[in-house]
Amino acid sequence: MSAESGHVVADGQATDVSVADVASAVRNGDRSASSIVEDHLSRIGELDDEIHAFTTVVADRAREAATVIDQKIESGEDPGPLAGVPVALKDNMCTRGVTTTCSSKMLEQWIPPYDATVVERLSAAGAIVVGKTNLDEFAMGSSTENSAFGPTRNPHDTDRVPGGSSGGSAAAVAAGFAPLSFGSDTGGSIRQPASLCGVVGMKPTYGRVSRYGLVAFASSLDQIGPFTRSVADAALAFDVIAGHDPRDATSIATAYEPVGPHLTDGVEGLRVGVISELCRQDLEGFEPAVVERTSRAAEALADAGAKVDEVSIPSVIAGLSAYYMIAPAEASSNLARYDGVRYGLRQPGQNTASMMAASRTAGFGDEVKRRIMLGTYALSAGYYDAFYGKAQRVRTIMIQEFEQVYQRFDVLLTPTSPCEAFRFGAKADPLTMYYNDVCTIPSNLTGQPAISVPYGTGAEGLPVGVQVLAPMLGESDLFRAAAVLERSLEGSVS
C-alpha cells in the first residue's frame, strides 16, 4: 500500500491478505508468525500517523506472542485456527496490562488487571494483538470525531471520517494494518464504519458473544463483532469468539453451531425481504446511489435463486427516537461509576461533591456529557413514563413486528448507512449525526444479528455497504446471503 494525497490505497503486499491465508501459512510452516507481525507493525509505523487508527500499539508484546506461536509450530503443536493472525482491538475491550482508555481522558491511565472473554478466546486461537484502536469516546458517536485523542481518518479519503464509533477498527483493516479487528456495536458502531471504510462488519445476536470485559455503554444493546476484508474471514472470526460464557449473565447458554461450514450453501429458496421504509429514493438524508446499490444487491440475490420481495416494518423509523432515549438512559447508569473515587481521572475539590463534579467535567467530552444528561433526564421522576417508558414500548413493538416479518422471510436487506463517508465537521449538529444510525439501530433494539457487506461505490467513488439482517440466532442464513452478495460483486460491480 502507498500513501497519496489524502488517500491510502492497497498495493497487494503481504499486509493485504486474508485471515484464513495468514493462519494457513503459519500453521503449514510457510510463513513465521514473527515475519507476519513485523510486516504489519512496519505498515502501522509507516502510515498510522496519517490514519490514526490506533490509540496504543503493543509492538513488543506482539513480537513475544509471535515467538510463542512459532515455537509451538516447531514443536508440532497446533496454535489454533487464527495462528499468527494480527488483530486490532477497539479500545473499550479490557486487555490485561495494556491501557484501555475508551478514547476518554477519564480512563487515559487505566490498565485492566484482566482480559475480556473475547480477548482470551482470540489468544487461545493463536491470534496476536498488535494494538488498541481509536473510537468515539465511550463508543458514543458515528464518526470517530469524538475521541479525546483526535479523530481517525478514512483510508479511502483522509479528508473524510471512517464512521463510528468503531472507526479505528474499521480503518485498521481497510488500511492493511491488521487483517482482523474487533469493535462493539450498540447502535451500528460496527456496521456503519464497515460500510464507510469498505470492509465487512458483523454484529452478532445479543448474547451470542460474551460482553465480559467490554466497558459498558448501553448494556442491553452492546455486542462485540469482527471487521474483515471478506465474509469468510468474518465467519472464521465469529466462530472463534461465539459461545456461552458463564461470566456474562446475558450470554446465551444454548450450544453454538459454527457458521463457517454453511458459507457455500447458496441462497436457493431463501426468502429475502427488502425493508421498504429504508429503501426509497425519496428518504431524507439517503443518497440515491446508496439506495441503488441496495436494489442491485436484491437483484443479485434473486439471480442466485432467492425469493425476494418488499416488506414494510413501520417501527424502523421510530426506532431512532427510541434508541436515543434507551441508550443514553443506560449510559447514565453505567457511567455513574466514573466519579473520581473508584475509577478513572480524579480532579481536586473542596469536598466530595465538588471533586466528583470537577473530575467528570474534565474527564468526559461534550458528546458523553450530552448523552449522560439526556439519559438522566429521561429517567428522572415525572419524565420516566413520558420518555424512557414510551421508548421501551416502541422497542417492544419493533421486536413484535420483526418477529412477524421473520415468519415470512429468512433474512432482510437494507442499506447500511444512508450515505458515503462524509467530510470532517460536515455533521456537527447532533441530530444530523444521529441519523447515520437509522438503518442499523433496529437490530440492536431487537437483539438480532446483522452484517454489512461492501457493495461497490457511490456517487463520489467511496465505498457503500449493504446490510443483511436475520432473526435471533440466524447467523448461518445471514452469512449465506452475505457470501452470495460478495461473490456477485466480484468482477461485476464497480
The catalytic site residues sit at 90, 165, 189
Cell of 186: 450498540
DSSP character at residue 409: -
Peptide bond before 332: cis, by omega within 30 degrees of 0?
A: no
d(CA 427, CA 494): 27
Query: Is the distance from CB of 391 to CB of 326 less than 8 angstroms?
Result: yes
Peptide bond before 103: cis, by omega within 30 degrees of 0?
A: no
DSSP character at residue 251: -
Q: Assign 459 to helix, strand or coil.
A: coil
Residue 313: CB partners within 8 Å, gap ≥ 6?
A: 275, 277, 398, 401, 402, 405, 442
Alpha helices in 286-351 (DSSP H): 288-303, 315-334
Helices 288-303 and 475-489 sit at what angle, rounded to 10 degrees?
100
465 φ/ψ angles, rounded to the nearest 5 degrees:
-110, 150
What distances in angstroms separate CA 115 from CA 44, 83, 99, 121, 201, one per listed residue?
24, 19, 11, 10, 23
d(CA 189, CA 173): 15
